[in-house]
Amino acid sequence: MATQSVLTPQNEDFPRWYQDVVAKAEMADNGPVRGTMVIRPYGWAIWERMQAEMDARIKEAGVQNAYFPLFIPLSYFQREAEHVEGFSPELAIVTHAGGEELAEPIVVRPTSETVIGEYMAKWIQSYRDLPLLLNQWSNVVRWELRPRLFLRSSEFLWQEGHTAHASYEDANAFATKIHLEVYNDFLVNVLAAPTYLGIKPASERFAGAINSMTAEGMMRDGKALQMATSHELGQNFARAFDIYFQSEAGQAELCFTTSWGASTRMVGGLIMMHGDDQGLVVPPRLAPIQAVVIAVRDEPEVNEACGRVAASLKAAGVRVQIDRGRGSFGRRVTDWEIKGVPLRVEVGPRDLKDGVVSLVRRDNAEKLTLGLDEVSVKAPGLLEEMQADLLAGATTRLTDATHDVENIDEAIEAAETGFARLDWSKVGVSGEAALKVHAITVRCLQRRDATMPLAETEPDLDCIVAKSY
């Protein structure tokens, strides 16, 4: 059956559409303090799936999970000048606790390079302790002036990896490995999200880094969203926190460190990359519920059939839920469409007389009539087909809305509807300034052979420019 959207159409007001989806799909609510958010069970289930998929890849790379404090002495930030300058506008600082003024102000964690650097210095003694590969799943606070649920909130959730290495080459190789084998693999193979991979220009780098790698996705309105970043910190933080090791030759040498992270911003990216006027479209490999079995009527025979279908789907490895229903069938169908569940199995008394049910794909509304015993046979293949189709569709949108241009004026025009790509040598500092007047930034720099560049000074680099979230 066709359903009528209860959401603002994307082409009418994309920001309003986004807010509608977050609310009506029961993803999140605004928290009691401006800029905070309450993640509702369905939104949390999607984030949990993201966590599980990324965490498995992080551990496969040899990284161990740990936890570090939420409260960090302000003096830690002041040890690395560029870092404190970059984060100063976003810091939340505690000056009083227990009814007294604190001897030293405490920063509420915006990121953990400083506190982890302090403990790396304690734990690393010799080259035998390297590389030290750590990750934590935590919340961070960056005071946001223009908050938007999932995309920009004053408190958000993420993973942040921090590593120490004996050489620049090893640090660079590991940061690149994380970017490609953790982030890009997850984005492409689970989130069905193609991105442009590259490095940030100096003006857009993480504060204190010598190089920042990024994955830039295109949302349905043509704007960019930074999906994940990996940073080479050189020896900046090692020098500030005395992270030395004794080399095989017996010499005291500074470590090279990295940091890398992905956050609940990915949930916002999921909504805006795949969603349509009916709501969310969740890629099957990510979906906490891959199929919902809906009883058209709350009748014993229908409910029994729903249970049989659900049991067979579960046995086939499909994550399934039964909706026996409150409210009208049409209203329930609309609710599940808004949530973006990949497959919908509709079980009604009329069809049961013929021994069949209806199976509907969320991405293209294709409807199949299947025997009760056929559903679990067909569903796994349909889920994989849908996964591939979502990636192909997003890739086509990215390619079709990326325009090769020759100069800054053409880039500004192209960025009104999508991405622009041009020779980095034609941009420079003055070009970046001209772009920013129009709220456009250089999202990343790429080699023309699509491999990851090491520095913005390399010849023959292209840049991707766009408006962004």
386-425 confidence digits (pLDDT tens): 999 999 999 999 999 999 999 999 999 999 999 999 999 9
- List the chain domain ranges: 31-263, 291-382, 402-466
Q: Is 457 exposed, middle or buried (0-12, 13-18, 19+ CB in 10 A)?
A: exposed
Predicted pLDDT at 3: 46
DSSP symbols for 134-166: EEEEEEEE---SS-BTTTB-SEEEEEEEEEEES
pLDDT band, residue 326 (cuts 50/70/90): confident
- Crossing angle of helices 300-315 and 375-400, in 10° steps, is 70
CATH class, domain 291-382, is alpha beta
pTM of structure: 0.95
pLDDT band, residue 325 (cuts 50/70/90): confident
DSSP lists the bridge partners of residue 96 as 101
Give the mean model confidence (pLDDT) for residues 142-161: 95
435, 412 Cβ separation under 8 angstroms: yes
Cα→Cα distances 72→88, 112, 371, Å: 14, 8, 60
Q: Mean pLDDT of all residues in the chain?
A: 95
For residue 178, give the DSSP letter.
Answer: I
In the predicted structure, residue 83 carries a pLDDT above the cut 80: no
160, 112 Cβ separation under 8 angstroms: yes
Q: What angle do CA 98, 104, 107 make, to 5 degrees?
A: 85
pLDDT band, residue 232 (cuts 50/70/90): very high
Residue reference for tokens 């908050």: 147
HSE at residue 269, side-chain half, CA atoms within 13 A, is 25
Predicted pLDDT at 5: 64
In the predicted structure, residue 42 carries a pLDDT above the cut 80: yes
pLDDT tens figures, 162-185: 999 999 999 999 999 999 999 999
The arrangement of strands across the sheet holding 71-73 comes to 71-73, 100-108, 92-97
Neighbours of 405 (CB within 10 A): 18
Pick the CATH number of 31-263 from 3.30.505.10, 3.40.228.10, 3.30.930.10, 3.40.50.2300: 3.30.930.10
115, 72 Cβ separation under 8 angstroms: yes
Q: Is 56 exposed, middle or buried (0-12, 13-18, 19+ CB in 10 A)?
A: exposed
Q: Topology of 402-466 in CATH?
A: Translation Initiation Factor IF3 (3.30.110)
